[in-house]
Structure 1
Amino acid sequence: MPKRGYHHGNLRQALVEAALRLIEVKGPTGFTLSEAAKQAGVTPAAVYRHFEGREDLIAEAARQGFSMFADLMQYAYEKGQPSALAAFESTGRAYLAFARKHPGHYIAMFESGISVNRTAELADAAGRARGIFERAVTELCENIPPHKRPPASMFSAHILALSHGVVELYARNTPGSASPFSPEDLLESGIGIYLRGLGLIGPDA
């Protein structure tokens, strides 16, 4: 029986998909290259034709994740137009949807400890995703006087941190962390408090 990776003609991608499955189950540091090779149906030596080590394999999984994430953010942003607030809220909901649908990618992107600057390709993909959030923030803040306007990078970092916290605590079905509210409601209310603090929405919005 031919090895699956070679049979399909795309061993590199077969290894990435194997790593994603292992990351979901064991975490980014809980598996070896040998395990990824076994799942892909090749010998451990074959892995080194495409990746120098486990971190390079995880970095490629993260790159693919950020590329998918950026596409989803762009779609959500455009879907929410013409209202800047609706577009911003749409990207927040899309963040939660991505974390649920692609947990292996999400962990590789945000929880593996791999720097987004490890490769130029990874940095570009992460930058594109971050840029969509920052554009949504910039449009949302257009009516704030420039001297009172928070830096777009800081504003978006706050929202991403809030979104990540909701995912980690309440969107992964972790035992003992159940919330009486849905992750979507928690994120929406948290963002609402933040926006009210900046005077971007009224108390009854």
Structure 2
Amino acid sequence: MADVLKTSSGRVRKKTGYHHGDLRNAIIEAVAKLIAKSHSLDFQLKEVGKMVGTSVPAIYRHFESKQDLLVETAIAGYVLQENYRSYALDQAGDMVLSRLLAVGYAYVHFARSHPGYFLLMKSMETEEILSSETYQAQRYKTIRLMDELVTECSSEGYFTDVEKDLVLAALQAAAFGIANLYTADQLRYVAPGLIGQEDVVARLFKISLRAVLSEAGNRAVETVAGDPFQDIPNKPE
């Protein structure tokens, strides 16, 4: 899927690329693309330079080291993920169960659209990334939002009598698993009949969520807002 950003009108549009001369962002984007291609951090800065048409010394004018570049790439990834989440929450309405699912939809579609950023943030965090105060603040913001939504859903009686941490872990496992079906290109092997069905993400989330839903929750999940990314063409960048 092409990059999705909110406009002031609330509509979605494709990101068209960087402004001319925005070398720093172009370098970060090149790193994300290299990670998506190789599923590793084993790349050289000269490869990055080749992709954006610049030299290694020019990269060092923007980033102190490769590790510094990875930290900034991870931080940029969280900004992109939050763009997806903000858009999804805007479409979800006030029903808390809809909002909880919206966060999951945003997580998966961010991964599908930006696999390099997703892999770096979720599977390849370096010590330097984890030591970044900015990165940790971004992560905490997401965790706090999920905690608040799950707490509110529990107060509405949507969940069975299970501990909150178990619900949070179950939701994370579902989101991470669904995202990896796409980033690892596993859907074609485990469920090829689902390829091309854009409602798959919503159906998988609802199936996963039912494991912790009460009777009231199961009734409510049938009325929640749908996946806001479902009708956006899923085109490779």
Normalising by the residue count of structure 1, what TM-score does the alignment of the two structures yield? 0.78
- Is the aligned partner of 1:137 residue 2:150? yes
Q: How does 1:1-205 map to 2 (within 5 A)?
A: 8-114=20-126, 117-143=130-156, 150-151=163-164, 155-170=167-182, 172-174=184-186, 176-178=189-191, 180-181=193-194, 182-196=200-214, 201-202=217-218
Deviation string 1:98-146 (CA, Å, 9 cap, x unpaired) is 11122222122112233553311212222222222222212111246xx
Amino acid at match of 2:217: I
- Which whole-Å CA distance do the structure 1 matches of 2:61 and 2:166 have between them? 40
Structure-2 change in CA distance of 1:154 and 1:193 (3 Å): closer
- Which whole-Å CA distance do the structure 1 matches of 2:52 and 2:153 have between them? 45
Deviation at residue 179 of structure 1 after TM alignment: 5.0
Query: Is contact 2:33–2:116 with CA below 8 Å preserved after alignment?
Result: yes
Query: Is contact 2:77–2:121 with CA below 8 Å preserved after alignment?
Result: yes
Query: Is contact 1:23–1:104 with CA below 8 Å preserved after alignment?
Result: yes
Structure-2 change in CA distance of 1:78 and 1:11 (3 Å): closer
Q: Report the number of matched residues.
A: 193
Query: Is contact 1:141–1:149 with CA below 8 Å preserved after alignment?
Result: no
Structure-2 change in CA distance of 1:123 and 1:157 (3 Å): same
- Which whole-Å CA distance do the structure 2 matches of 1:154 and 1:37 have between them? 45
Amino acid at match of 1:67: V
Q: Secondary structure at the match of 2:210?
A: helix
- Considering only aligned residues, what root-mean-square deviation do their CA atoms show, in Å? 2.8
Deviation string 1:82-103 (CA, Å, 9 cap, x unpaired) is 2111211222222222111222
- Which whole-Å CA distance do the structure 1 matches of 2:95 and 2:36 have between them? 36
Query: Is contact 1:74–1:132 with CA below 8 Å preserved after alignment?
Result: no
Amino acid at match of 1:201: G
Deviation at residue 36 of structure 1 after TM alignment: 0.8
Query: Is contact 2:167–2:212 with CA below 8 Å preserved after alignment?
Result: no
Normalising by the residue count of structure 2, what TM-score does the alignment of the two structures yield? 0.69
Deviation at residue 164 of structure 1 after TM alignment: 0.7
Q: If each structure's helix is expressed as a fraction of its own residues, which one has the higher value?
A: 1
Structure-2 change in CA distance of 1:53 and 1:195 (3 Å): farther
Amino acid at match of 2:94: P
- Which whole-Å CA distance do the structure 1 matches of 2:216 and 2:163 have between them? 12
Deviation at residue 200 of structure 1 after TM alignment: 5.9
Structure-2 change in CA distance of 1:13 and 1:176 (3 Å): same
Structure 1 regions of 5+ residues with no counterpart?
1-6
Query: Is contact 1:34–1:44 with CA below 8 Å preserved after alignment?
Result: yes
Identity over aligned residues, as a percent? 26
- Which whole-Å CA distance do the structure 2 matches of 1:106 and 1:40 have between them? 21
